[in-house]
Amino acid sequence: MLDDKILRLINNQKTEHTPHAFRAGGAGLRDFGALRHLLEPLTEAELSEALDVIDAMAATHNGCASCTAKIAAFCEAFAAQTLPQRSVGYREACSALSGREQRDYRAEIQRQLGI
């Protein structure tokens, strides 16, 4: 079972509560930056559960390629060490969305996370 703080940081980003939460300076960027440190100590199963919750939240942003790409870039970073194959899927999703927008969302998120 995931910690309430983790669930709050993820689910606060649903579009019905915060449209475009991942825009520059948006709450999603700050919250997911904080989320990184909460996810690092999780087991594979717990991290997988957290990513499933993030995936469900990301689906509420389907109309926005920018938000969806940034969420995928965050998930790529979150999964990189513990779930590398899942990380690759997020990288591919972000790259596909970034190509449409002609932006490097991965680089933006890496800067946000300091990696």
For residues 81 and 97, which has the higher predicted lDDT (pLDDT)? 81
pLDDT at 19: 82
Q: How far apart are CA 79 and CA 82, in angstroms?
A: 6
pLDDT at 101: 67
The reply to whether the predicted model has a pTM over 0.85 is: yes
Q: How far apart are CA 41 and CA 57, in angstroms?
A: 22
Confidence tier at 98 by pLDDT (50, 70, 90) = confident
Instruction: Mark out the alpha helices in the chain (DSSP H runs).
Output: 4-11, 27-39, 44-58, 65-79, 84-101, 105-113
Give pLDDT tens digits for 34-80: 999 999 999 999 999 999 999 999 999 877 889 999 999 999 999 99
Question: Tokens 């079972």 map to which residue?
Answer: 1
Q: At what angle do helices 65-79 and 27-39 cross, to 10 degrees?
A: 20
